[in-house]
A and B are shown apart, each in its own frame.
Chain A
Amino acid sequence: MSAKPSRLNRVLMALVFLFLYAPIFVLIVFSFNDSQSRTVWQGFTLRWYVELLQDRAIMSALWTTLLVSLLATAIATVAGTMAAVGFFNMKKRWRGPILTVNNIPMTNADIVTGVSLCLLFVAFFAGWGDFTRWFNSLQGLVHLPTRLHMGFGTLLIAHLTFDIPYVILNVMPKLRQMDKNLIDAAQDLGCTWMQAFWKVVLPEIKPGIVSGALIAFTMSVDDFVISYFTAGSATSTLAMVVYGMTKRRISPKINAISSLLFVTVLTLLIVVNVREARQEKALEERKL
């Protein structure tokens, strides 16, 4: 193996990066183009960004996206951390298979997850309708709504299903790296198991929890396919609005909003990666 990449290698690498990033680069450049045209450059403007702010549908989708992402992240972080601690305290025989099952939602095709969740909600709503009609006919005190629709609630549940595995995946290694004697030591010094968890385990696995939360948030902001199948007709996320806009008259506003999404996700990913690099460095120092 030669130390220097050959010229061919370099050319191939350049081509790969060109294919990967040229479209995004073009997208961002034309979000500042002072024209409806997506082919001819006619000067710099922030017009499309301003128009975004004035677009009701987009702003409402932005709030939906932020709200569902933040809520899903918060719930998934707590649930995922608790699940990881639970798995960790299981016998090894069970831990392996369960972690494999945990990985399935992440590797599963989004379209499959989306459609199956959609079918699940529809089936549940049908069952709910039958149940409430029977329940309401029994008594007159409580009247339960018989018709439920997909909307923000189902969207949130759908986001939880793919956010929780990411949190678990980030917390597990931190638990494994932790010196198991720390829990014994805390209990030895007077802590109950719960106190030991709060005072010792949580600070130790905190970096994993934060990484997990950041990745979960990124995934939620990023998601289109699963949201599309589970948000119902009245609720839209940003990604869904962009998709809707491409079906109608194409406006450079799409460029602007896509650029913003891209920058947001990129920033989050950079933060996650920098944090991980720092943690690894700190861990190595600790070993020395």
Chain B
Amino acid sequence: MSKKLIRLVDCCMAFDGELVLDHINLYFNDSEFLTLLGPSGCGKTTTLRIIGGFLTPTSGEVLFDDVRMNDIPPNLRQVNTVFQRYALFPHLNVFENVAFGLRVPRREGGRKIKLPEPEIRQRVLEMLEVVSLKGFEHRRITGLSGGQQQRVAIARALVNRPKVLLLDEPLGALDLRLRKDMQSELKRIQQQLGITFIYVTHDQEEALAMSDTIVVMDQGRIQQIGTPEDVYNEPKNAFVADFIGESNILDGIMHEDYVVEFFNRKFKCLDSGFAPMEPVDVVIRPEDIDIVPVEKGQLRGTVTAVTFKGVHYDTIVDFKGFKWLIQTTDYHPEGETIGIVLNPDDIHIMRKSEYSGMFGDYSSYSEEYEEMDGAEEGSGDEE
């Protein structure tokens, strides 16, 4: 049975009267890799800074092992942070950066305690080996690549043997290839040391690849908590469905358990527990849709756009004015009429939410892509 190391109870945070965190209830288990996932401004970094001790919540409680920590400063908390842009100390070399936390004299029972030099040395070298930076002790920080700086930042935090490591978008500044390498590296380190990682990111792929638990956040509220499989296969609302992966989201009506109607046609599904004739959101993942010859299809539509993506084609298909994204390895040219078949396990039903109708229609497909590009450029500028 895993232990709840940290709990946030009804945490609210307001800056200048603006609510940034809205009654967050969350707990973190021992040796768990938990990811706070959401778009910028969703409150994920604020949550992390509250745990780190850099912010005090406006209301609610922060509990470490059931002890209230709200007003305990960062230097007295048994957590360490890997900062967004590493925040390494430029005037110190790699060894001294990692040793920094060990050299700070600590008070125990009213006495100042300093670690003996040989122990510091041993722990630093050990940790440099964990992050694969053996032999880099005397290098200057300024001479290191982004990936190496990242490793120093991780070693510097872990050398203090925290119970929990907080990571604030640590891979944001790295290029794609390096990011993938560091993802598996981080996962390996977490498993090797067996401590809790709380990881903040806006990158859903990163979250899916590394996490034991994903907490999806938006507008200061938790939208869903679950394993990567849960949040991908069983999104709770249109926001989660859209933010994690691509989704076609349609209006449907739940006739009875396991039967849903959309496009004036009844489909079998695997969901139950809804009121009779309850309006719902229907999620169909683009990669789950099978394209078949027109006469065999449950629905028929016309291809309006095709984009080659390497592994598959992004195919936009018009069904009576509603445009779907279908990911298929077969090429269907623009203008072709096709049929599709939906199996019961391809269909996921969600209750209506405030996000209903905001996502999941690919009519403005190209614009949406431009927006995404714009967003990435925006975050690039920050770096």
Do A and B make up one complex? yes
Cβ-based interface call for B319 (8 A): no
**Are A189 and B160 in touch, CB under 8 angstroms?**
yes
A233 is an interface residue with CB less than 8 A from chain B: no
Residue B90 is within 8 A (CB to CB) of chain A in the complex: yes
Are A286 and B85 within 8 A (Cβ)? no
Say whether B267 faces chain A, with CB atoms less than 8 Å apart. Answer: no
Partner of B75, one of A179, A181, A190: A190
In chain B, what residue has the closest Cβ to A187?
B74
With an 8 A cutoff between CB atoms, is B311 at the interface?
A: no
**B81–A186 CB distance below 8 A:** no
Contacts of A179 in B (CB 8 A): 85, 87
In whole angstroms, how far apart are the Cα atoms of A188 and B168 in the complex? 13
Interface centre among B80, B83, B90, B101 (most CB of A within 10 A): B90
When chains A and B are docked, how far (Å) is the Cα of A285 from the Cα of B142? 8
Which A residues are in CB contact (< 8 Å) with B160?
189-190
Q: Is A181's CB under 8 angstroms from B84's CB?
A: yes
CA of A187 to CA of B89, assembled, Å: 13
User: Which residue in chain B gives the minimum CB-CB distance to A182?
Assistant: B87
For A177-208 the 0/1 string (1 means CB < 8 A from B) is 00101101111111110010001100110000
Assembled-state Cα–Cα distance A181/B157 (Å) = 14
> Are the C-beta atoms of A188 and B80 separated by less than 8 Å?
yes
Residues of B within 8 A of A286 (CB): 90, 142
> From residue 71 to 106 of chain B, which have CB atoms closer than 8 A to chain A?
73-75, 79-81, 83-85, 87-91, 100-101, 104, 106
Nearest-neighbour CB distance to chain A for B239, whole angstroms, equals 30
**Interface of chain A: mostly helix, strand, loop or mixed:** helix
Q: Which residues of A contact B88 (CB under 8 A)?
A: 185
Chain B contacts for A189, CB-based, 8 A: 75, 80, 100-101, 104, 156-157, 160
CB-defined contacts of A187 to chain B, threshold 8 Å? 53-54, 73-75
The reply to whether A190 and B104 contact each other, CB–CB distance below 8 Å, is yes
Residue of B85, B89, B104, B156 near A195 (CB, 8 A) is: B104
- Say yes or no: A192 contacts B83, CB within 8 Å: no
Provide the bound-state CA to CA distance between A191 and B74, in Å.
9
Given A191-B75, A203-B91, are A186 and B83 neighbors across the interface (CB < 8 Å)? no
Contact A190 B106 (CB under 8 A): yes
Contact partner, B101, options A184, A190, A285, Cβ 8 Å = A190
Question: At the interface, yes or no: B252 with Cβ under 8 Å from chain A?
Answer: no
A187 to B75 Cα, complex, angstroms: 5
Chain A 153-194: CB-based contact to B (< 8 A → 1; otherwise 0):
000000000000000000000000001011011111111100
Q: Mark B262-305, 1 if CB is under 8 A from A, else 0.
A: 00000000000000000000000000000000000000000000
Cβ < 8 Å to A, chain B residues 108-155: 142
Bound Cα distance A200, B88 (Å): 10
Residue ID in chain A nearest B101 by CB atoms: A189
Given A179-B85, A191-B75, A200-B89 in contact, is the A184-B54 Cβ separation under 8 Å? yes
Q: Which residues of A contact B91 (CB under 8 A)?
A: 203-204
CB distance from B132 to the nearest CB of A (A): 22
Q: Given A190-B104, A190-B106, decide whether A185 and B90 contact each other with a Cβ distance below 8 A.
A: no
Write the nearest CB–CB distance from B326 to chain A, whole angstroms.
44
Cα A64 to Cα B105 in complex, Å, equals 44
Q: State whether B104 touches A181 (Cβ < 8 A).
A: no
Of chain B, the residue at the smallest CB distance from A196 is: B75
Give Cα distance in the complex from A203 to B81, angstroms. 22
Expressed in whole angstroms, the minimum distance between the Cβ of B180 and any Cβ of chain A is 24
Q: A192 near B75 (CB under 8 angstroms)? A: yes
Collect the chain B residues with CB atoms within 8 Å of residue A192's CB.
Answer: 73, 75
Known contacts A191-B104, A204-B90, A185 near B83 by CB under 8 Å: yes
Interface centre among A181, A195, A199, A285 (most CB of B within 10 A): A181
Selected A-B contacts with CB under 8 Å, 16 pairs: A179-B85, A179-B87, A186-B89, A186-B100, A188-B80, A188-B81, A188-B157, A189-B75, A189-B80, A189-B157, A190-B101, A190-B106, A191-B75, A200-B89, A203-B89, A286-B90
Which 5 A-B residue pairings sit nearest by Cβ, starting from the closest? Answer: A181-B87, A189-B101, A190-B104, A185-B87, A203-B91
Extra contacts, 17 of them, besides A188-B80, A191-B75 (Cβ < 8 A), are A182-B87, A184-B52, A184-B54, A184-B74, A185-B83, A186-B89, A187-B54, A187-B74, A187-B75, A188-B53, A189-B75, A189-B80, A191-B104, A192-B75, A204-B90, A204-B91, A285-B142
Residues of A participating in the B interface, judged by any CB pair closer than 8 Å? 179, 181-182, 184-192, 195, 199-200, 203-204, 285-286
